[in-house]
Amino acid sequence: FDDGSREAINLIIYATGYSWELPYLEEGLIQWQEGRPDLYMSAFSREHPALFVLGLFESNVAAYQLFDKLADVIARVLLVQQCGRDETHFANLLRSDRPELGGGIRYVGSERHIGYIDFGAFEKHIDRVRRSMGWPPILPGWYKDALQKIPRTDQACHGTPQ
């Protein structure tokens, strides 16, 4: 150690996080492309509309705000599905929308950087999807009283898209 102290260590675990696996899902449930799951917006299964995965991307900045925004989109898609609303538009996005989320940045050609996303490009795409679905934008303070803003399912199914 820097201070000159020593420690008897008998096990070192390297957990770099660059092995992309989903061992808890049945093989073939999600299609893979270039060693990564082929998920719309890094979260939505293209084959199974009720299958979502959150957190399977690397970003050029801290991703927690993107996780929040993506979790909100997942919740809204679940409401659309549960309420029996027209899912055609989002289904079309799942099938055909393949946004370039790298923001034009040329990342290092390493295993770690395959599928990297640019925070700004991803945030803009989330906003475009929200607008196209008729959902309000997430503004500063949105989560401060989120429980008051998210209607119960029975209320949400009878109102306008939230």
pLDDT digits (tens, 9 = 90+) for 1-19: 889 999 888 877 766 656 7
Write the CA distances from 145 to 47, 57, 69, 142, integer angstroms. Answer: 34, 28, 15, 7
Q: What is the pLDDT of residue 40?
A: 93
Q: What is the pLDDT of residue 147?
A: 55
What is the Cα–Cα distance from 43 to 56, expressed in whole angstroms?
7
Contacts of 4 (CB under 8 A, 6+ apart): none
Q: Percent of the chain, pLDDT > 90? A: 23
- Helix-helix angle 119-133:64-83, to 10 degrees: 20
pLDDT at 160 over 50: no
pLDDT digits (tens, 9 = 90+) for 99-153: 999 888 888 877 777 778 999 999 999 999 999 998 888 877 776 665 555 555 5
Q: What is the pLDDT of residue 127?
A: 93
pTM attached to this predicted model: 0.76
Residue 40 has what DSSP assignment? E
